[in-house]
Amino acid sequence: MPFVHELLNYRSVAVVGMEKNCGKTECLNYIIRRMPLDGRRVCVTSIGLDGERTDQVTRTPKPEIVLREGMFFSTSETHYRARRMVSELVDVSDETTALGRLITAKVVSEGKVILSGPSSTASLRRWMDGLSGFGIDLTIIDGALSRKSSASPAVSDAMVLATGAALSSSLSTLVDLTAFCVGMIRLPLAETHPDTARSVTVSSMAPHVEICEDTDRVDVTGALTDRLLARLTQDGGLDRYEVVVEDFTRIFVTPGQYRSFVRAGGRLRVRRRTVLLAVCVNPLAPNGYRLDSELLCARLSDKLQIPVYDIKRHEA
């Protein structure tokens, strides 16, 4: 599929799932299988944990991560020892996780590995910066849209989004929820803030704030929640200023509340954004219900104006 080759135009790409069982690992494995290496150095890691045989929450089988010869990967000491492949140790990082230091290695013989990488945005950035010394051309980050993950996949240059029936068994609801998420990913960057501008800072923990008539920007620290967005909407005057968050992963608002904010003149911006390359779908829900794959891809592609793929259907 064309989007795999597009990845080569970027230094870092995140593969991000909207929900568990949306096919993120299948998408990651597809990219790994189809990635044209041709002397390129590609390194794979994960925000959190991926590649285990059984989901630790649902206890259902999961696809394992298979890395090709010549690829690089980073994982914790615990999972490096448990790898099922021959690999060459490249680096032992000072960065640590609950599962030990981060190990970077090169795959000598194709095999399986559980990936457990940087657990915070800051450590993810430091790890990515550190890879420059090893001549890595492309970093692939296995990510997730989750409140439980403190590392943001938005630090990558580009991303592939995985969605599916695990999010909703209603095709129209699934399309709407995915379209809303894509809308947040595509939010414009905040304008450069001149020294003469007047801004205020607010957090979801303390949403009450004085916004003066000459305020032209509200900077949100941490998460943007329905409660905070409702407060700003109720206070009025949204047409005078823009609301700015760090990136789309900090946005935890419902579509209805966001529509009310926009109707009132609200403008939401981000300080950091990423390029969305493609959307991959898993039409099969964990309970066995299956959506029409062809119809789902067509509806999403029409709504999003971006390529949409069912990985398993393309490989069948």
Same domain assignment for residues 265 and 286: no
Same domain assignment for residues 16 and 63: yes
Same domain assignment for residues 115 and 234: no
Q: Is the pLDDT of residue 195 over 70?
A: no
Query: Which has the closest alpha carbon to 166: 62, 307, 290, 279?
Result: 290
Q: Is the pLDDT of residue 268 over 80?
A: yes
192 is a domain residue: no
Which is more confident, 283 or 99? 283
93 is a domain residue: yes
State residue 225's pLDDT score.
Answer: 93
8 is a domain residue: yes
Q: What are the distances in angstroms from CA 27 to CA 77, 186, 215, 284, 308?
A: 25, 21, 44, 14, 12
* Mean pLDDT calculated for residue range 130-149: 80
**Residues whose CB is less than 8 angstroms from the CB of residue 45 and which lie 6 or more positions away in sequence, other chains included:** 73, 74, 75, 115, 117, 118, 127, 139, 140, 141, 142
Question: What is the token pair recorded at 142?
Answer: 């296995």
**Residue 129, H or E segment:** helix 121-130
Same domain assignment for residues 207 and 86: no
Q: In which residue are the tokens 């940087």 written?
A: 118
Which is more confident, 155 or 279? 279
Q: Is the pTM of this model over 0.75?
A: yes
Same domain assignment for residues 283 and 251: no
Quote the domain boundaries for residue 248: 199-270
**Residue 29, H or E segment:** helix 24-34
193 is a domain residue: no
Report the largest interatomic distance among the alpha carbons of the chain, rounded to a whole angstrom. 64
Q: Is the pLDDT of residue 96 over 90?
A: no
194 is a domain residue: no
Beta-ladder partners of 252: 225
163 is a domain residue: yes
135 is a domain residue: yes
What confidence tens digit (pLDDT) does each residue in 99-111 have?
Answer: 889 999 999 999 9
Cα–Cα distance for residue pair 50/114, rounded to 1 Å:
6
- Range in 50-59, 78-87, 207-216 with the lowest mean pLDDT: 50-59
Cα–Cα distance for residue pair 22/299, rounded to 1 Å:
17
Q: Is the pLDDT of residue 53 over 60?
A: no
Same domain assignment for residues 151 and 82: yes
Same domain assignment for residues 151 and 300: yes
Q: Are 308 and 281 in contact (CB under 8 A)?
A: yes
* Mean pLDDT calculated for residue range 154-167: 91
Beta-ladder partners of 46: 142
Same domain assignment for residues 120 and 230: no
DSSP-derived letter for residue 17 is E
